[in-house]
Amino acid sequence: MAKLFDSITEELQEFIAAQNLFFVGTAPLSPTGHVNLSPKGLDCLRILSPHRVAYLDLTGSGNETSAHLQENGRITFMFCAFVEPPRILRLYGKGYVVLPSSSEWDSLSSVFPQIPGTRQIIVADIEIVQSSCGLGVPLYEYQGQRQTLVNWAIQKGEQGVREYQQQKNSISIDGLPTPLSQLQQNVGVRSQNTK
């Protein structure tokens, strides 16, 4: 039986902290747009308050979450217990993107580990917290975090990662711009003004 909470209680915060994996879901407003669901690991989530969470978003092959948040702000987090006792926890809220150029970056980034390839921070104000049984979730044994993405970013270097973001992370698969595309436009305008 599902239970609703007004906030992320201390007991639920402990459950979240014990999970090595969580999922983030977003969608565009268009009825023909694609719903995005992304798995996240690498110790990148922080609970900022009983009503606010944030995660460090690393450079990847797409940037759907960022585009959807810029368009409509809707976001859902899901945590599953893959060990006993079973539980599923969902956080429903409104999110936004914080880029390294933002005034919020320094204070927010200080609560996360420094991970090569960091792209942005996703912040969400949580409106509804829902817990359900999770009896249908299978049991899995945790073996560790993959280091492939971090190693890729180290090999690319900061400039290489920025170039990859410009090529692959500026537009969603549905053609929605991400905050990175606006940042690139602003950089282009500044460079033209300095000529």
CA distances to 49, 77, 78, 118, 130 from 9, rounded to whole Å, are 10, 15, 16, 29, 11
**Residue 123 pLDDT > 50, yes or no?**
yes
Considering only CA atoms, give the Rg of the chain.
18
Mean pLDDT confidence for 142-155 = 94
Q: Is 35 exposed, middle or buried (0-12, 13-18, 19+ CB in 10 A)?
A: exposed
* Predicted local distance difference test score (pLDDT) of residue 181: 85
**Residue 77 pLDDT > 50, yes or no?**
yes
Bridge partner list, 25: 37, 76
Mean pLDDT confidence for 160-170 = 93
What is the fold of 3-193?
Pnp Oxidase; Chain A (2.30.110)
Domain boundaries, the chain: 3-193
Q: Is the distance from CB of 56 to CB of 115 less than 8 angstroms?
A: yes
Q: Is the distance from CB of 5 to CB of 54 less than 8 angstroms?
A: no
Res. 186 pLDDT band, cuts 50 70 90: very low
* Predicted local distance difference test score (pLDDT) of residue 25: 98
What is the three-state SS of 37-93? Answer: EEEECCCCEEEEECCEEEEEEECCCCCHHHHHHHHCCEEEEEEECCCCCCCEEEEEE
Q: Is the distance from CB of 107 to CB of 52 less than 8 angstroms?
A: no
Q: How many whole angstroms separate alpha carbon 82 and alpha carbon 66?
A: 28
* Predicted local distance difference test score (pLDDT) of residue 2: 87
pTM score of the predicted model: 0.90
- Give the number of residues written for the chain: 195
Q: How many whole angstroms separate alpha carbon 170 and alpha carbon 103?
A: 21
Mean pLDDT confidence for 5-31 = 97
Res. 170 pLDDT band, cuts 50 70 90: very high
Q: Is 55 exposed, middle or buried (0-12, 13-18, 19+ CB in 10 A)?
A: buried
Res. 9 pLDDT band, cuts 50 70 90: very high
**Residue 194 pLDDT > 80, yes or no?**
no
What value does the mean pLDDT of the chain take?
Answer: 92
pLDDT tens profile 100-118: 999 999 999 999 999 999 9
**Residue 140 pLDDT > 70, yes or no?**
yes
Q: How many whole angstroms separate alpha carbon 35 and alpha carbon 76?
A: 11
Res. 49 pLDDT band, cuts 50 70 90: very high
